[in-house]
Amino acid sequence: MESIGPIVFVSSTFYDLKYIRYSLEEFIKSLGFRAILFDKGDISYDPKKPLESSCCENINSYDTDIYVLIVGNRYGTKSAFDQESSITKIEFQTAQAKHLPTYVLIEKEVFYRYKFYIENKENQAVKYGVDINVLKFIEEINALPLNNPIQLFENLDDIRNWLKKQWTGYFRSLLRKELKEYSIDSITKIQETTERIEKYFETFLGNYAQKNDDTELSKIVSKEKEQKILSDNAKKIDDFFRTKLGLFVLQHSNLDFQNSEVQTTLLNSFKSEKIGDFLEKLQVDSSNIQDIKRNSDAQIHYQKERRKFVTIE
């Protein structure tokens, strides 16, 4: 029976890594995933098109979910369109363009040669004992701003253990995201209910004012104003969690923002002038706070959101 789990496209040169490719295919299948490898006949070739066109089209036509790149000491078959690129590199670029979750595994010895290359690449006389195009490819991967996690390996166990940890963590993060999106929907429903209650009170107060004295009416008006504040705050919170900063907080905080006390904590946290203090009060992990504090745009964005909750002189 064919797996209905995630589809994993495995990309690498064949001859130097075929033992890894075979074992990795079995590992992927053991997880209930489907592995796509050209040497197993999983890729359909169009005789009217270059080889890499078929490979890249299959990344899309199979609706690939995950892309795994294994880098050894060979660069692989050159591209028909660009002699400076290999088919493996073209596959990687296609996966990046599609924003597929990407996992890069590099043989440890090759990576050490890459470090030596970085230190000496201005010296044309230096030999590296490996195809220099491989080293340049690693340099390009390493320079990417995101979606380029790199793990060194010496044997198959290194690969299996790392991928298992990565995929388990990724699956957990997706579950948490689903739960927090459910929390946002719940806040929206609370807001809609509050608005209906508010409209009811407006009608009720109009009728009540005609039959009762001002003292009793002022008490009801006071309660109605409190309800209005709650409604306004619920809307502000809902709008905040639809912003980039709000989504960042949802992803990296362990607080339950569906809880009314936690919502109060959120409102009070906006009194903080600096984004770092704001995130600390919301129990965001310190490593994530340090990253965002170095981003000047994030501070500007925070001040913009803060003005919606507090009066800034």
Percent residues over pLDDT 70 in the chain: 71
The answer to whether position 214 is within a domain reads yes
Under the banding of pLDDT at 50, 70 and 90, the label for residue 115 is: very high
Under the banding of pLDDT at 50, 70 and 90, the label for residue 69 is: very high
Q: For residues 149 and 102, what is the distance between their CA atoms, to the nearest angstrom?
A: 7
DSSP the chain: ----S-EEEEE--STTTHHHHHHHHHHHHHTT-EEE-GGGT-S---TTS-HHHHHHHHHHHTT--EEEEEE-S---SBPSS-TTSBHHHHHHHHHHHTT--EEEEEEHHHHHHHHHHHHHTT-TT---SS-HHHHHHHHHHHH-SSS--EEEESSHHHHHHHHHHHHHHHHHHHHHHHHHHHHHHHHHHHHHHHHHHHHHHHHHHHHHHTTS-HHHHHHHHHHHHHHHHHHHHHHHHHHHTTSHHHHHHHHHB---TTSHHHHHHHHHHTT-SSHHHHHHHTTB-HHHHHHHHT-HHHHHHHHHHHTTTS---
Average pLDDT over residues 32-50: 67
Summarised one tens digit per residue, pLDDT across range 184-217 is 666 666 566 656 656 655 565 555 555 555 555 5
Contacts for 191-196: CB closer than 8 Å, 24+ residues apart: 191/231, 191/234, 191/235, 191/238, 194/227, 194/230, 194/231, 194/234, 195/231
Could you tell me if 77 and 86 are in contact, meaning their C-beta atoms sit under 8 angstroms apart? yes
Residues 139 and 187 in one domain: no
pLDDT of 47 over the 70 cut: no
Number of domains present in the structure of the chain: 2
Residues 128 and 50 in one domain: yes
Predicted confidence at residue 239, as pLDDT, reads: 84
Domain finish residue from 122, 154, 186: 154
Predicted confidence at residue 85, as pLDDT, reads: 81
Which of 55-64, 92-101, 235-244 ranks highest by mean pLDDT? 92-101
Residues 102 and 207 in one domain: no
Residues 223 and 137 in one domain: no
The answer to whether position 203 is within a domain reads yes
Q: For residues 56 and 4, what is the distance between their CA atoms, to the nearest angstrom?
A: 22
Residues 129 and 209 in one domain: no
Q: For residues 282 and 80, what is the distance between their CA atoms, to the nearest angstrom?
A: 53
pLDDT of 1 over the 50 cut: no
pLDDT of 120 over the 80 cut: yes
Q: For residues 171 and 149, what is the distance between their CA atoms, to the nearest angstrom?
A: 16
Residues 149 and 254 in one domain: no
Domain finish residue from 138, 154, 170: 154
Q: For residues 48 and 226, what is the distance between their CA atoms, to the nearest angstrom?
A: 71
Average pLDDT over residues 221-229: 64
Q: Which domain holds residue 228?
A: 178-306
* pTM of the predicted protein model: 0.55
Residues 139 and 25 in one domain: yes
Q: What is the CATH number of the domain that holds 30?
A: 3.40.50.10140
Q: For CA atoms 21, 26, 31, 37, give the dihedral sign.
A: positive
Under the banding of pLDDT at 50, 70 and 90, the label for residue 221 is: low
CA neighbours within 13 Å on the CB side: how many for 159?
25
The answer to whether position 169 is within a domain reads no
